[in-house]
Amino acid sequence: MDDFKKIDSYLYKNFNKSISELSTYVAQPSISAQNIGLKECAQLVKEMLMVRGFKARVMETEGAPVVYAERKGKSDKTLLIYNHYDVQPPEPLELWESPPFEPSLRGDKLYGRGVSDDKSHLTARLFAIDAILDTDGELPCNIKFIIEGEEETSSVHLHGFIKENLELLKADACIWEFGGVDHREVPMQYLGLRGICYVELSVESLGTDVHSGLGGSIFPNAAWRLVWALNSLKGPDERIRIPGFYDNIVPPSARDRELMNALPDVAEVYKKQFGVKEFIKGLKGGTDLKMEEVFTPTCTICGLTSGYQGPGSKTVQPAFASAKVDFRLVPGQKPEDIVAKLRLHLDNEGFSDIQVTLLGGEPAARTDPDDPFIKIVVDTAEEVFESPMEIVPMIGGSGPNYPFVHDLGLPVATMGHGYPDTRAHAPNENIRLDLYLKHAQHMARVIKEFAK
Find the shortest distance in angstroms from Cβ 347 to a second copy.
14
- Specify the residue, 220 or 388, whose C-beta has the smaller distance to a second copy: 220
Find the shortest distance in angstroms from Cβ 64 to a second copy.
11
- Specify the residue, 133 or 210, whose C-beta has the smaller distance to a second copy: 210
Find the shortest distance in angstroms from Cβ 279 to a second copy.
5
Closest CA to 62 of 149, 154, 157: 157
| Contact yes or no for 176/412 (Cβ under 8 A) | yes
The upper half-sphere exposure of residue 93, i.e. CA atoms within 13 Å in the direction of its Cβ, equals 4
Find the shortest distance in angstroms from Cβ 16 to a second copy.
30
- Specify the residue, 339 or 426, whose C-beta has the smaller distance to a second copy: 426
- Specify the residue, 145 or 419, whose C-beta has the smaller distance to a second copy: 419
| Contact yes or no for 418/182 (Cβ under 8 A) | no
On the 0-12 / 13-18 / 19+ scale of CB atoms within 10 A, 64 is: buried
- Specify the residue, 264 or 303, whose C-beta has the smaller distance to a second copy: 303
Find the shortest distance in angstroms from Cβ 276 to a second copy.
5
Find the shortest distance in angstroms from Cβ 451 to a second copy.
33
Residue 389 to residue 331: CA distance in whole angstroms: 24
Find the shortest distance in angstroms from Cβ 308 to a second copy.
4
Residue 313 to residue 142: CA distance in whole angstroms: 63
Q: Radius of gyration (Cα) for the chain, nearest Å?
A: 23
Find the shortest distance in angstroms from Cβ 116 to a second copy.
11
Residue 169 to residue 163: CA distance in whole angstroms: 10
- Specify the residue, 168 or 227, whose C-beta has the smaller distance to a second copy: 227
Question: Left if phi > 0, otherwise alpha if psi is -120 to 50, otherwise beta: which for 35?
Answer: left
Beta-bridged to residue 180, according to DSSP, are 188, 418
Distance from the first to the final alpha carbon of the chain = 13
**E strand segments, 3-137:** 55-59, 66-71, 78-84, 104-106, 109-111
Q: Is the torsion defined by CA of 163, 164, 166, 168 positive or negative? A: negative
- Specify the residue, 213 or 409, whose C-beta has the smaller distance to a second copy: 213
Residue 153 to residue 45: CA distance in whole angstroms: 19
- Specify the residue, 146 or 223, whose C-beta has the smaller distance to a second copy: 223
